[in-house]
Structure 1
Amino acid sequence: MGHQQGAYFVPTKSYWPIVAAVVMFVTVFGAAHWLNAPPGEAGFGKTMLTIGILGVLLMFFGWFHSVIRESLAGSYNAQVDRSFRMGMMWFIFSEVMFFGAFFGALFYARTLSVPWLAGEGHGLLTHQFIWNDYNGSWGAGGGGGPEAIGGRFSTIGPWGLPLLNTLILLTSSVTITIAHHALNAGHRGKILVFLGLTVLLGATFLNFQAHEYMEAYKELNLTLHSGVYGSTFFMLTGFHGLHVTLGTIMLAVIWFRVLKGHFSKEHQFGFEAVAWYWHFVDVVWLGLFMFVYIL
């Protein structure tokens, strides 16, 4: 289980980091093979991806079960709590950098590459010798080129499902904040109600996003093959949807832990960590709504 060295809890050697490395490798390998395989030949990649995802879920369940068991046993003191908080802060910072890279790619493609290819600024020679029929538009029609590969497509307007999903996530930030205040006040029934509402709002967001993707593919012909617009759209919204999925699962786990009485005003880092993560996901969506759907 572990032992104390001075005032700091030191766990025993764990095999979970090795399991994490293996299943994450399998997941990425399967996803890469699936995305790069010729049409109709992606069975191996999809199988590997499925095995990897199931392995990742098993790893999370087992590893966090060990951490929760150690926490409930009273093994963690204030210094360990600070270590967990710093670790979560650095994790969220890494997520900021993760999405920052994708927003940077969107900015570069839309603000620099597209005008250069159209002959603006320093791109006159680029336009003349590389793509002299490119008109430099962004969005509908593919900008004078991608429609020749994936067909003409239409964009998704911001005032339908995207706006509704924005309101859903903003509401979920309010409900989880209310649940946090209820935890500090010791009102477990109120925690369960508002935390449960947060889980339902997250699941509703994912349902609407899945509906939006089906509409994009079937009715608007907006796919991953729709030039740089399609690739950046699905890259940003898809990874955000993945984060909402993970956040919703974590919120559901926290709900069951609250039901079992695991948290108190003095010991609530697990709840706080998930709340921080959820607020981060909400802020990222506001950026997506502004720069992907509106502008």
Structure 2
Amino acid sequence: MLFDLTDLRLFIFVAELKSLTRAAERMHLSLAAASNRVKELESRFGMRLLYRENKGVMLSPAGETLLAHAQQFMQQLERLKSDMQQYNNGIKGHIRIFANTTAVTEFMPQVLGTFLTAHPQVNVALEERLNHDILRGVQEGTADIGVAAGPVQGQGVEIINFSTDRLVLATSLDHPLAKAGTVSFAETLEYPHIGLHEGSTLQHFLNRVVSDTGEHLNLRIQVRGFDAMCRMVESNVGIGILPQSAGLRHSQSMKLALVELRDPWAVRERSVIVQKLETLPAYARELVEYIRGSQVDASQAK
């Protein structure tokens, strides 16, 4: 055998910490033992895996390849241990989902509530991630299902569009833009904005849009969700960009004006991402169908 689990864990720590010494400490190995293990790996593969430098170590191209496979292998091992443990707890299935902000806060709670009621022996881990992390998670196998909005392209995955997500501007009723009808995002930049937290997919996207134009986004305050954003907007603290479905829902209980954004990127396709739909367990495929069947275009929302 070319390696064992200790070799793989050690190599992953070396790559993450960029230090053989610190990796050895993390693995409770002597530096000499850790160094010998890496040298043995290089000998077995017949190629250099690390470049040793004054400030630490750097992976060679071959080392980068080994790291990718080592991470996937260890992730699959953890999933195996976790999934087998579920049987001891009476659970027969586990699904890991990476999703964007809108999915996590707006429609996945209802979808999962319905799905889990119908599947009491399945549990779900739902994590909010940025779009590129969602795609990478599915590609690397750390997520079974991804839910994203906007352009998504990647190799080794199936991308299933299931609804349209339109972004709109929310203002207080007496704000200068409240009766504008339509506005461009650029027209909103002269006013203070209410933004989402930095880990939000939507905030990350808007920051990138502003950066690409060379403009500045005046973020007066950042909040954790659309409910808090709308309350700030209603109080005229600032204006906010949010999905139309969220805006319509909150406008039923708050005094808000929703203004259409003219920018082409304001209309985004929502997508489910999986490695290969037909290879998912039956209960995971059924959850994908729940997600696909739960949505209508935001323009049709009431």
Q: TM-score range by the shorter chain?
A: under 0.3
Higher helix share: 1
Normalised TM-score (structure 2): 0.25
